[in-house]
C-alpha cells in the first residue's frame, strides 16, 4: 500500500514535524521557555551552566549540582594538545571567511579527533556525553580560531571560570569586566534554544540518520551560517553605525524603507508581539554607559513608528537581533564573531535536540512532488 502524501506549505510554515520536551515558542503570547521555565526569567536569575544543565540533564541544578556541573564542563573546555596544530591550520585556511565557516571546520576536526562514530546502536549515556564534550569545546574553539586568524597565540581555558567569562578571557587575554560577563551570559542564556528553527531542524535531520553527533553540529552550523538565519546582529549594528546620530535616524530609516529595504532587527516569522529576548537585551544594553545605547533606543522608536505607518495590518516589532548586536559589541565581541558566539549558546540547544532525536528516532525522510519532464519512453 503506498503511503498517502500530504502537501506541506513552502518552508514548512506551521507544520508540526516532531514532539519535543526541550522548549517551545508561543509567538502570539510573546513567550518562550526551556523545559517549562520562561527563558527571560532564567536569563535574569541563572548562570549559563545552570540552564545548560536544565537542557542536558532535564532539570535546574541545586547549588551543589550546579557547581559540580560547572567544574565538569569547565574541565572539558581544554583541547587535546595534539589536536591544536590541526585546528590552527584549519582556522586560517581559505583566507577572509565568515566565522562560522572556519568554526564548523574546527568543530568537525574536534569530533573526528575524539573518534566520534554513528550513535545508532551505542549506549545512550556515552552519546549524551559526546554531546556535552562538543558543546564544552565551543568557546575554546572560537578563542583559538579568532586569535590564530589574528596572528595571536591561543589562550588556555580556565575551568574555574564560567563560559561567558572564559570566552571573553580567551579572546582578549585580559580579566573580563563583570558587567560584560553578566551581559554576555544573559545573551547566551536567551539564545540557547528557540523552537524548530532551521539549524535545530538540520541537527535533528542529521541525527535521524544515525550519524555521529559531530556531523549534526556541523550541519546545524552550516544552517546558522546562512544570511537568513544567524546573520542579522551584525547588520543591525552596521545600521546604527551608518545612522551615526539620533537626528539622522528619521531620514535614514525613511530612505531605506523607500528603497524597499528591510530594517535589520525588526519583524519576526513567529512573534506578533515584541520578541521577549529583545525586551531583556534592551535592559542589558541600558546597563552600559555608551552613546550607542541612546542611539539604538532612538532609532528603534523611529523604526517602529515608520514600520507601523507602512504596515498597519502587520505587527512588525523589534526582534532579538537588534539589541543582540549592541550588547555583543558592548561586551567587546568583534562583530565578525557575532554568529560564532551565537553558535556557542545555540550548540546547547542543538545537542539537546540531537540527544532527544536519538532517544526516539525515526529517519526523517519526507516526500517531494515531481514537476519535471513527464516520463520519457517506456
Ligand atoms: N523591514 C521592513 N519591512 C519588513 C520587515 C523589516 N524588517 N520585515 C517585514 N517587513 C514587511 C515585508 O516587506 C512585507 O511587506 P509587504 O507585505 O508589503 O510585502 C511584510 O512586512 C511581511 O513580511 P514577511 O516577509 O511576510 O514577514 P516574514 O514573517 O516572512 O519575515 C523576517 C520575517 C524574515 C524576520 C523579516 O521580518 C525580516 O526580513 N526582518 C529583517 C531581518 C531580521 O531582522 N532577521 C532576524 C530575524 S530574528 C531571527 O532570525 C532570530
Residue with cell 535521524: 208
- Mean pLDDT of the 36-48 span: 98
Residue with cell 528557540: 194
Q: Over the chain, what is the mean pLDDT? A: 96
Q: Tell me how far apart the alpha carbons of residues 296 and 283 are, in angstroms, rounded to a whole number.
A: 12
In this prediction, residue 45 carries a pLDDT of 98
When mean pLDDT is compared across 268-272, 335-339, 351-355, the lowest value belongs to 268-272
In this prediction, residue 229 carries a pLDDT of 83
| Residue of the CA atom closest to atom 49 of ligand 1 | 229
- Any ligand 1 atom below 6 A from CB of 232: yes
Q: Which contacts of 293-298 are long-range, i.e. CB under 8 A and separated by 24 or more positions? A: 293/326, 293/330, 294/246, 295/240, 295/243, 295/244, 295/245, 295/246, 295/249, 296/240, 296/322, 296/323, 296/326, 298/246, 298/249
Q: Is 201 helix (H, G, I), strand (E, B) or coil?
A: helix
Residue 356's nearest CA partner among 235, 224, 193, 238 is 193
Q: Domains in the chain, start-ordered, CATH in brackets?
A: 35-225+338-359 (1.10.580.10), 232-330 (1.10.230.10)
Phi then psi for residue 198, to 5 deg, are -60, -40
- Mean pLDDT of the 229-238 span: 84
pLDDT tens digit sequence for 62-73: 999 999 999 999
In this prediction, residue 154 carries a pLDDT of 98
| Residue of the CA atom closest to atom 13 of ligand 1 | 262
Per-residue pLDDT band at 228 (split at 50, 70, 90)? confident
- Any ligand 1 atom below 6 A from CB of 319: yes
pLDDT tens digit sequence for 289-341: 999 999 999 999 999 999 999 999 999 999 999 999 999 999 999 999 999 99
In this prediction, what percent of the chain has a pLDDT beyond 90? 91
Q: Pinpoint the alpha helices (H) of 93-149.
A: 99-113, 124-149
- Mean pLDDT of the 97-107 span: 96
Residue 1 pLDDT > 80: no
Q: Is 87 helix (H, G, I), strand (E, B) or coil?
A: helix
| Residue of the CA atom closest to atom 30 of ligand 1 | 269
Burial class (CB in 10 A: 0-12, 13-18, 19+), 175: exposed
- How far, in Å, is the centroid of ligand 1 from the Cα of 261? 10
Burial class (CB in 10 A: 0-12, 13-18, 19+), 86: middle
Torsion sign (Cα): 235, 236, 241, 245: positive
- How far, in Å, is the centroid of ligand 1 from the Cα of 327? 22
Give the residue numbers marked as catalytic. 268, 321
- Any ligand 1 atom below 6 A from CB of 275: no
Residue 195 pLDDT > 90: yes
Q: Tell me how far apart the alpha carbons of residues 50 and 54 are, in angstroms, rounded to a whole number.
A: 6
∠ CA 52-57-61, nearest 5°, is 70
- Mean pLDDT of the 253-278 span: 93
Say whether pTM exceeds 0.85: yes
In this prediction, residue 273 carries a pLDDT of 87
Q: Tell me how far apart the alpha carbons of residues 193 and 24 are, in angstroms, rounded to a whole number.
A: 9
Residue 378 pLDDT > 90: no
- For every residue of 134-183, DSSP letters joined together read HHHHHHHHHHHHHHHHTT-------TTS-HHHHHHHHHHSSPPPHHHHHH
Residue 270 pLDDT > 90: no
In this prediction, what percent of the chain has a pLDDT beyond 70? 100
Q: Tell how far CA 364 is from the center of its chain.
A: 23
Per-residue pLDDT band at 4 (split at 50, 70, 90)? confident
Per-residue pLDDT band at 232 (split at 50, 70, 90)? confident
In this prediction, residue 250 carries a pLDDT of 97
Q: Tell me how far apart the alpha carbons of residues 101 and 107 are, in angstroms, rounded to a whole number.
A: 10
Amino acid at each position: 500500500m503506498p503511503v498517502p502524501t500530504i502537501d506541506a506549505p513552502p518552508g514548512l510554515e506551521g507544520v508540526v514535524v516532531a514532539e519535543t520536551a526541550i522548549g517551545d515558542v508561543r509567538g502570539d503570547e510573546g513567550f518562550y521557555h526551556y523545559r517549562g521555565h520562561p527563558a527571560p526569567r532564567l536569563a535574569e536569575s541563572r548562570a549559563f551552566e545552570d540552564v545548560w544543565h536544565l537542557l542536558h540533564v532535564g532539570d535546574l541544578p541545586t547549588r551543589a549540582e550546579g557547581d559540580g556541573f560547572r567544574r565538569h564542563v569547565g574541565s572539558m573546555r581544554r583541547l587535546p594538545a595534539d589536536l591544536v596544530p590541526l585546528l590552527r591550520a584549519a582556522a586560517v585556511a581559505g583566507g577572509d571567511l565568515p566565522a562560522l565557516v572556519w568554526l564548523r571546520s574546527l568543530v568537525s576536526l574536534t569530533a573526528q579527533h575524539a573518534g566520534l562514530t554513528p550513535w545508532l546502536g551505542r549506549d545512550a549515556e556515552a552519546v549524551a556525553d559526546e554531546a556535552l564534550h562538543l558543546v564544552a569545546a565551543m568557546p575554546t574553539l572560537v578563542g583559538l580560531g579568532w586569535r590564530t586568524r589574528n596572528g595571536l597565540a591561543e589562550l588556555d581555558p580556565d575551568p574555574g571560570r564560567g563560559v561567558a567569562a572564559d570566552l571573553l578571557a580567551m579572546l582578549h587575554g585580559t580579566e573580563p569586566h563583570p558587567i560584560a560577563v553578566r551581559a554576555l551570559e544573559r545573551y547566551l542564556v536567551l539564545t540557547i534554544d528557540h523552537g524548530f528553527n532551521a539549524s535545530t531542524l538540520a541537527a535533528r535531520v542529521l541525527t535521524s540518520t544515525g550519524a555521529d553527533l559531530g556531523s549534526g553540529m556541523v550541519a546545524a552550523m552550516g544552517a546558522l551560517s546562512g544570511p537568513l538565519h544567524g546573520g542579522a546582529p551584525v547588520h543591525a549594528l552596521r545600521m546604527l553605525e551608518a545612522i551615526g546620530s539620533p537626528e539622522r535616524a528619521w531620514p535614514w530609516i525613511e530612505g531605506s524603507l523607500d528603497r524597499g529595504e528591510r530594517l535589520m532587527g525588526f519583524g519576526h516569522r513567529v512573534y506578533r508581539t515584541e520578541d521577549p529576548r529583545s525586551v531583556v537585551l534592551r535592559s542589558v544594553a541600558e546597563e552600559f554607559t555608551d552613546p550607542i545605547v541612546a542611539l539604538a533606543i532612538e532609532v528603534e522608536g523611529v523604526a517602529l513608528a515608520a514600520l507601523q505607518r507602512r504596515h498597519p495590518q502587520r505587527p512588525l516589532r523589534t526582534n532579538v537581533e537588534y539589541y543582540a548586536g549592541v550588547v555583543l559589541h558592548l561586551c567587546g565581541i568583534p562583530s565578525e564573531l557575532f554568529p560564532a558566539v551565537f553558535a556557542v549558546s545555540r550548540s546547547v540547544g542543538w545537542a539537546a535536540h540531537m540527544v532527544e532525536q536519538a532517544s526516539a528516532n525515526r529517519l526523517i525522510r519526507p516526500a517531494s512532488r515531481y514537476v519535471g519532464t513527464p516520463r520519457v519512453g517506456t
